[in-house]
Structure 1
Amino acid sequence: MRLSHRNSSQIIFAAAFAITLGLPGLTIAQNKKQTADLRAPEPGYLYPPGGRAGTTSDVQLGGYDWTPDLQFFVLDSRIKLQTSGEPGPILIPPPPYWFGAKAYITPLPLPREIPAKLTIPEGFPAGPVYWAVAGASGVCQKTGIFWVGTEPEVVEDSTSKVGQKLPALPVTVNGRLSRIEEVDRYRFTAAKDGPVTCEVFARRLGVNMNVALAVRDAHGQLVVDGIDTEGQDLALTFWAKAGVEYTLSINDFDFRGDRSFVYRLTLTAGPRVLATLPALGKRGGIQEIEFLGLGLATGQPKLESIKQKVTFPEDPKQNFLTHRLETKFGTTPAFGIPLSSISQSVASKASNEILHVPASITGIFEGASTEARFRCEGKKGEVWNLAAEARRFGSPLDLVLSILGPDGKQVSQNDDLPGTTDAGLTLQLPADGMYTLVVSDQSGKVGKKTSLYRLLVEKVIPDFAVTTVARLNLQIGGTGEFLVKANRIGGFKEPISLRITGLPEGVTVPANLVIPPDKSELKIALTAADNAPAMASLVTITGTAATISHVAFASLSGNLAAKYPDEERTSSLLMATTLVPRLKLIDVEADGGRKVHRGSTHPAEVILERINDFKGEVSLQMNSIQSYQRQGINGPDMIVPASENRAFYPCFMPEWLETTRTSRMELIGVVKVPDAKGKIRYLVTPMLGRITMSIEGAILKVDPGLREIALRPGESVQIPVKVLRSAKLPVPVKLELKLPEELAGVLKAEAVTVPPGQTSVNMRITCTKEVNSNEMPAIIIRGTALQDGRYAVVSEGNINFECLKKK
């Protein structure tokens, strides 16, 4: 029995659009106790963002609003991801910062990271792997992604100043653009004359980054460059000369950067495949394939083709053949050829070519042609599934599919299916006769040999598909429901029995779950026992009718460069039981009501309303999602004792903030409570309202009298430092030496306290050892005063430093 993948896609996306955030995909009955919103943890990134099959590597998991009790899930049980610690501190983006119009209006979220080990078994296929995270506050919709590769791998050396030297090609670099304006550089050499292909994965990892690449030769001359302006990641191929050292630079097009800006860069000494004719391969078949790409025939960076026979696997569970084409000029990077059970052909140049159903045919819009017509004979009452695909194969075409009846009149038409610019439809034939299938393009990008399309036409046989939501949340002691949909195909009318496995402990569903013959969906009731623990598990739903069984699929989020919706789905549904909320967190001040000096700390008043008999401590923390958290604004993890219902959260405003702007801070409240099994769990509650501050001028200024110093090991220098204070700050100021990571242990200085009324002091700095680098970051003299005896006021002054060699 075959299932039309196009019908399946439409149902999956309809279900996905029905999902809401917060407690997604599930309507939860209100508990009798007081309620409040909970914030589910969110997966972010993995660094390094992938690995090679057959390896175990140390990684950092990054994510948002994380607590120490999280469960991590890889949606492929063959891969192991084991954490080895608790979430670290909130990571504030470091300088440099942008000001004025270029500054972020909506900043990137603030992550915490956890160390972990990633084990990928030998033989695991190349491609994306999805992961998720859950806590006692539930699960969110977002899915994390990392990538499995086939090449030797290295990790970026972030300390390199001249460009990291890479080993012999092929190689995959796991890198990160960790801050604004960062440009990563890599040096490599080709073993022989020929094409070299550079490919970057970022958006496919869920990173909202538009990559810019440039390759320069040993003289600094530009060889090739490109920018991912279409949001589909980027690949470049150029002709390299043996023995010449090339330098590749990579950055975000807008020079953004953040801990989450991870990428995988693969360099291969070989040409690059762009497309194949036909576009798919038949399972279990051997067929001559025409490969289209750059440098395939001559090695030159121009579009050309070669033909080779390919043997395709029979496994019905395998959706792709990951193929590396051997050429005279090297082996290409891995290229995925989709698989089908239908014979594949290539369109002729004849008009109105006759197809025999089922048919799968690949064509090209060469020259000025923007339309292709095919004819198929059908009988009244037959149900056809039709698809016109281009985006799925990386083709630039935007297709429209039209069906003309035997009388020449249009019977049906489709432009875009959900989530793609490809087209598809299901049609019940109204009469006997010859039907005309019209594939047309509206992109204006015809005329190239890669402007290809694939037309599928097949008779629909009775079958069904089952879809649902990817994430479920259910409050302990409560009830809820979720929807399972059945897409009945080809007149399928049998009742569909549903079997659910893997439910969290204490969660039950009614017996004998059946979608009736005349229905296309079923609402399934869920009950979580009062004594159920707070936990999450992967759930599988299987639909069975007669002799046919299908697992339910749900659409996944995460991939920002998805070409084919059916690839972004899972049969592993994540469900969590959540504890009853214990807190309401309320901002006291009205929006925009408080003026704060640059470089000072604002104690923002917050009300803690304890609910459902909660009397314990509350940790006030920065929310990972800050609508206006920019340019270093920060605050600590602050413990509010059990006896208090009001707190003053210290919001620190760096001295470089603009006085023309308004700054905001959003908080979460984190509480510890035991679940029914006595295990300590953490609940996260977002604050109602935002702390809003209008910025005024600074009340403290530290000004080093020297702008540059040069020292040899053992030498010292006296730095005259001016300390200017407002009358609002009649307190001592402590001066300390703040060193960048690169100069740790190279310089030292004793802290100096400047009493009230004194405006200058000398500070001695000593060089303790030599450091070999032509580029030294600035050192900082930091002054700190305590306003009202507890709230920090900070000012910093920079000094450029040069480390001289010993005489």
Structure 2
Amino acid sequence: MMKISLYLRLSALICGSFASTATAAPPAITHLYPAGAQRGTTTEVTAAGTLDATTKVWVSGVGVSAEVAKGKFAVTVAKDATPGTYWLRAHNAEGASALRPFVVGVLPEVTEKEPNDDFKKPHVLNDLAVTINGRLEKSGDVDCFAVPLKKGQTLVASLQANRVLNSPMDGMLQILSADGFVVEENNDFHGLDPQLAFTAKKDGTYIARVYAFPAAPDASIRYFGSDACVYRLTLTTGAFADFALPVREPDAPPQADIWGWNLPKSGKRLLVPKLAPGEAFAALSDPEIANPVPLRVEPHPHFVDVDQRDRLAHKYEAPFSLTARLHAKGLAQRIPLSLKKGQALTLQVESRTLGLAVNPVIEVFDKDEKRVARAEPAKLNGDSVLSFNPPADGAYSIAVSDLYGGGGGARDVFALRVLEAKPDYDLTVAADRFTLTPGTPTTIPVKINRQNEFAKNVEISAEGLPEGVKLEAAKPAKAQAGVLTVSLTAEKPWSGSFRLIGTIKGEPKYQRTARFALTESDDTTADLWLTVTAPPKK
């Protein structure tokens, strides 16, 4: 019996080794650790999931590349790579994994050292500007980091976990004195991720402590942890950006003022980089600032009045945008404008999307102060959109307030966008990965989301496919179809990224790119994947 048992175990081991090196199924990745790296470095990254010896890695954007070495990813970040979130996808001859986020940072990076559960035995940090790659790997796990501070120094502590990395945790962040007393704490600053700024009242060593509850609440009463609870904790006494405000100056390139902590007293103003086609947000970064910050770039007039100096000095006409602040708790910010009957508008207020504090409510009042329209966030930590068609010519006002009566803080800032509701469209797909074999086509339904009675015929083409992979669009059953089905065929095996592009004949301004809504975050991607597998053996 012992010989038979040994034989079976050896057979299983040999078969398992063969399976790990043979291409049998598409790779799968649940999370990456560490989930980021500093510019100008090469980092060894563990990809949790299933990989084989033929696995390769595709990375979105420019300046980041990855190779598979000994079952791990070697991720190389160029010195001039733009800070922010990139997306990694593992693939082989059978298919591809879902996209996983990987963050490129500015500061030096270290990996958490265990054991560090006890604040009396923390991971000691000597650098006051660092990003820590950590993980709450089991139930009850707590991570503590010791930081020396001088009286008057402000330490910014910012945790990336659920919102950026899709970690299944609701993080808590505390600053403790050396003897264990909580002197500052935060929860849910950016969605479920905490952030705080603490100013030391005396010299000493302080402890940054991280722990978590499950992002999806359950009946447990202990601190939450799992192998997937990966995080990035930035600790710095240097400059840290909170948000950006656009600057409109005649005869000058687009610039933005940066607001945050530990910035120069004269402030910090950055140039706004040119956007790629179809992009609405610019990522502003600077070597002297610990983090990038997003800024929406508008194609129409944009006014800034966070100090309530010029609010009534402008004559607002759609389309326009206004960045403003709620100056007191429970107070609504009013914006007057004159409208005509039938002038269909779309009103959008962004704050939570930008990482700011307002949970926006939009109200429209007529000249008699009668409320004629209202909208509030459709979900927790969401922003608001309101479609409004004036019932009569006249004077109106748009009121923006906080759903929970907030206001009065430096971060109670919002951006109001008043847009003409013109006919338009966008494209979405229900999947981001597709597989076919030579001689057997695969079909992709592309949904045309028509807005404001958009009635033009949309044509679909592909960008990034090689010769030998052909796309054909089926003729829609009716004009102005809501769905167009495209068919892909191939002559030989291939694997790669591609995009689906919508166009209107003779009107280049209507070019749109199909996007897929990522299932584990609020992000979308235009980078689809096609795998053409080898034909089955006869």
TM-score (norm 1): 0.53
For 1:357-396, list aligned pairs within 5 A.
357-396=318-357
For 1:162-181, list aligned pairs within 5 A.
162-181=121-140
For 1:272-671, list aligned pairs within 5 A.
274-275=242-243, 278=245, 280=246, 285=253, 289=257, 291=259, 308=267, 310-313=269-272, 315-317=274-276, 319-323=281-285, 334-341=292-299, 342-346=301-305, 348=308, 355-404=316-365, 412-416=373-377, 421-427=382-388, 431-460=392-421, 463-476=424-437, 478-488=440-450, 493-503=455-465, 508-510=470-472, 518-528=479-489, 533=493, 536-545=495-504, 546-548=507-509, 549-559=511-521, 568-577=523-532
Alpha-carbon contact 1:194-1:270 (below 8 Å) kept: no
Q: 1:369 to 1:260 in 2, by over 3 A?
A: closer
Quote the offset at 1:427 in angstroms.
4.5
Give the greater-gyration-radius structure (CA).
Answer: 1
Cross-structure match for 2:209: 249
How big is each residue's C-alpha offset from its partner over 1:686-719, in whole Å with a ceiling of 9 and x where there is no partner? xxxxxxxxxxxxxxxxxxxxxxxxxxxxxxxxxx
Q: 2 CA distance for matches of 1:420 and 1:243?
A: 37
Quote the offset at 1:234 in angstroms.
1.4
| 1:509 counterpart SS class | strand
Cross-structure match for 2:89: 132
Q: 2 CA distance for matches of 1:410 and 1:352?
A: 24
Give, as a single letter, the amino acid of the residue that structure 2 aligns with 1:553: R
| 2:419 counterpart SS class | strand
How big is each residue's C-alpha offset from its partner over 1:190-244, in whole Å with a ceiling of 9 and x where there is no partner? 4774111111111121101122333334444444333448843111222247873
Alpha-carbon contact 2:56-2:67 (below 8 Å) kept: no
| 2:472 counterpart SS class | coil
How big is each residue's C-alpha offset from its partner over 1:448-476, in whole Å with a ceiling of 9 and x where there is no partner? 34223221113355654333344133453
Cross-structure match for 1:123: 80
CA root-mean-square deviation: 4.0
Alpha-carbon contact 1:237-1:272 (below 8 Å) kept: no
Alpha-carbon contact 1:139-1:471 (below 8 Å) kept: no
Note the residue ranges of structure 2 that are not aligned, 5 or more in a row: 1-23, 214-221
Q: 1:354 to 1:151 in 2, by over 3 A?
A: same
Tell which has more relative contact order, 1 or 2 (C-alpha 8 A, sep 6+): 1
Quote the offset at 1:351 in angstroms.
8.5
Q: 1:71 to 1:281 in 2, by over 3 A?
A: farther
How big is each residue's C-alpha offset from its partner over 1:118-138, in whole Å with a ceiling of 9 and x where there is no partner? 011222121111223346665
TM-score (norm 2): 0.77
How big is each residue's C-alpha offset from its partner over 1:353-373, in whole Å with a ceiling of 9 and x where there is no partner? 852333222233333434333
Identity %: 24
Alpha-carbon contact 1:57-1:117 (below 8 Å) kept: yes
Q: 1 CA distance for matches of 2:184 and 2:482?
A: 54
Cross-structure match for 2:3: none
Cross-structure match for 1:676: 535
Alpha-carbon contact 1:395-1:452 (below 8 Å) kept: yes
Give, as a single letter, the amino acid of the residue that structure 1 aligns with 2:84: G
Count the aligned residue pairs: 491
Give, as a single letter, the amino acid of the residue that structure 2 aligns with 1:81: A
Q: 1:405 to 1:557 in 2, by over 3 A?
A: same
| 1:80 counterpart SS class | strand
Cross-structure match for 1:75: 60
Q: 2:198 aligns with which of 238, 244, 247?
A: 238
Alpha-carbon contact 1:466-1:553 (below 8 Å) kept: yes
Cross-structure match for 2:154: 195
Q: 1 CA distance for matches of 2:389 and 2:153?
A: 53
Q: 2 CA distance for matches of 1:519 and 1:160?
A: 61
Q: 2 CA distance for matches of 1:440 and 1:219?
A: 42
Q: 1:525 to 1:354 in 2, by over 3 A?
A: closer
Quote the offset at 1:498 in angstroms.
2.0
Cross-structure match for 1:708: none
Q: 2 CA distance for matches of 1:485 and 1:434?
A: 39
Alpha-carbon contact 1:504-1:577 (below 8 Å) kept: no
Q: 1:381 to 1:55 in 2, by over 3 A?
A: same
Alpha-carbon contact 2:35-2:133 (below 8 Å) kept: yes
| 1:392 counterpart SS class | helix
Q: 1:164 to 1:536 in 2, by over 3 A?
A: same
Q: 2 CA distance for matches of 1:239 and 1:137?
A: 54
Cross-structure match for 1:585: none
Q: 1:143 aligns with which of 92, 99, 115?
A: 99
How big is each residue's C-alpha offset from its partner over 1:735-757, in whole Å with a ceiling of 9 and x where there is no partner? xxxxxxxxxxxxxxxxxxxxxxx
Task: Confirm or deny that 1:154 pairs with 2:154.
Answer: no
Cross-structure match for 1:260: 228
Q: 2 CA distance for matches of 1:374 and 1:473?
A: 48
Q: 2 CA distance for matches of 1:482 and 1:412?
A: 39
Cross-structure match for 1:6: none
Q: 2 CA distance for matches of 1:202 and 1:447?
A: 28
Note the residue ranges of structure 1 that are not aligned, 5 or more in a row: 1-37, 86-113, 298-305, 563-567, 579-674, 679-807
Quote the offset at 1:288 in angstroms.
8.0
